[in-house]
Amino acid sequence: MTAVGTPPVEASASAVPGTGDARRRLRAVFLLTGTTLALAVVSVVAAGVGAYHIPPGQVAASLLDVIGIQGVGPLPDQVASTVLWDVRLPRVVLAITVGAALGVAGAMMQGIFGNPLAEPGVIGVSSGAAVGAIVVIFTGITVLGHWTIIASSFVFGLATTLFVYVFARSRGRTEVVTLLLTGIAVNAIAGAAIGLMTNFSQDAEIQTITFWQLGSVATATWSKVAVIVPCLLAGLIVIPIYARRLDLLSLGEGPARHLGVDVERMRLVLIAALALLTSAAVAFAGIVSFIGLVVPHIIRMVTGPGHRVLLPASALGGGLLLLAADLLARTAAAPAEIPLGVVTAALGGPFFFYLLYRTRAKQGGWS
């Protein structure tokens, strides 16, 4: 029982102006800091684990030595240094970059459509981008050199995104069920196209197509990293510009327009950004599903829906999750390697079932 004249503890806390905001800011700082530290630790561990083991201390010492900090610990020998810098670190950086791209693309898509179940893979964008990459592999087109695959993947990914967006719009709003059903249809058509090209491909082409379907960062090189990193940075540029506007869009299109947001222009810019992020990720890692769905939800559970924290945290969380999944993929059944897309699907599938159940339970059904 509460004493007379003494307000309950909850009421006292809520009565302090700005207490809730301060707590959210504190959680955001802890989340961003903790995710960054975890990403650094997992990166060092992942760079050392493999057939040729390199102690974490030597990995850290080699990384610090490159930036001019010497004498921290023993450096790896010549063989270990070659394995570290030519094989392991490109794979680590590519996994982080692909995961960051998919994580922030998923957060953008959920904000654009106002749909917590939206994700590039779920609504067919990843499959569309994969078709673009496989068309280049199947036809052997090399007009733009190393950029041919990513250019084709980008065009197909953007076209798929725009098609799904337009088809899911009705009477000025995006219908959730139509969005998901359109994604199912797009995935089916993309799967048919991939299957048709696989059927008429040579053995070498079939192996490459299988890579795109299952996902992997095993073929990482510094040249691939040099191509995908600018795409990631180009996609991330929109975060400080549109994060606040996405928060306003969550109030509804009408209120957002009254507050000065050009909704259609913002959606087109963000659609182009997430298509670039997704297509770049698919171009170098194949179809890696559920990262863009799982990560934003986990971040949202910790810090809330504010996009100024959600978007950068989703990039960090996506990189961390995909790097951990890749580490699991190449160590769980060593010396064999499990396809990366299989690992992420095994983790994300049950989580998606949970989201479906939770959403249906909160809305009392879909109708």
Examine residue 266 and state whether it is found in any structural domain, yes or no. yes
Backbone φ and ψ for 169, nearest 5 degrees, come out as -80, 135
Q: Among residues 311, 278, 295, 286, which one has the least CA distance to residue 125?
A: 278
Specify the CATH number for the domain of residue 187. Answer: 1.10.3470.10
Q: Are 197 and 209 in contact (CB under 8 A)?
A: yes
- 145 φ/ψ angles, rounded to the nearest 5 degrees: 65, -130
Query: Given this model, what pLDDT does residue 364 score?
Result: 60
What's the CA gap between 259 and 299, in Å, rounded? 27
Structurally, how many domains does the chain consist of? 1
CA–CA dist 107, 97 (Å, integer): 16
pLDDT at residue number 214? 85
Tokens 């337009």 belong to residue: 166
- Burial class of residue 213, CB neighbours in 10 A (0-12, 13-18, 19+): middle
Helices (H), 169-306: 176-199, 203-214, 222-236, 238-249, 253-258, 263-285, 291-303
Q: Is 193 among the domain residues? A: yes
State the alpha helices, DSSP H only, in 49-146: 56-66, 78-83, 89-113, 125-139
Q: Which pLDDT tens digits describe the chain residue by residue (367 residues)? A: 444 444 443 343 334 445 667 787 888 889 999 999 999 999 999 999 988 899 999 999 999 988 888 878 889 999 999 999 999 999 999 999 999 999 999 999 899 887 777 788 777 888 898 899 889 888 888 888 767 877 888 789 888 888 887 887 777 666 767 877 888 899 899 989 988 998 888 877 787 787 778 889 988 999 889 988 998 998 889 888 999 999 998 888 888 888 888 888 888 888 888 888 988 898 888 888 889 988 998 898 888 888 999 999 999 999 999 999 999 999 988 888 898 989 998 888 888 788 778 767 776 654 4
The distance from CA 41 to its chain's CA centroid, rounded to whole angstroms, is: 20
The whole-number pLDDT of residue 231 equals 87
SS3 67: coil
The pTM of this model reads 0.86
In 3-state terms, what secondary structure has residue 169? strand
User: DSSP character for 173?
Assistant: E
CA distance from start to end of the chain: 44
The answer as to whether 90 is a domain residue is yes
159, burial (CB in 10 Å: exposed 0-12, middle 13-18, buried 19+): middle
Residue 68 lies in a domain: no
- Owning domain of residue 276: 77-335
Domain membership of residue 17 (yes or no) is: no
Residue length of the chain: 367
Domain membership of residue 349 (yes or no) is: no
- Separation of alpha carbons 246 and 241, rounded Å: 10
Token output for 107: 């957060």
In a domain, 9, yes or no: no
Examine residue 260 and state whether it is found in any structural domain, yes or no: yes
Place of tokens 């109708």: 367
State both tokens at 248. 């306003």
Asked if residue 327 lies in contact with residue 42, where contact means CB atoms within 8 angstroms, the answer is: yes
Cα–Cα distance between 3 and 21 in angstroms, integer?
29
DSSP run (H or E) holding 35: helix 19-48
In contact, 90 and 53? CB cutoff 8 Å: no
**Cα–Cα dist 190/183, whole Å:** 10
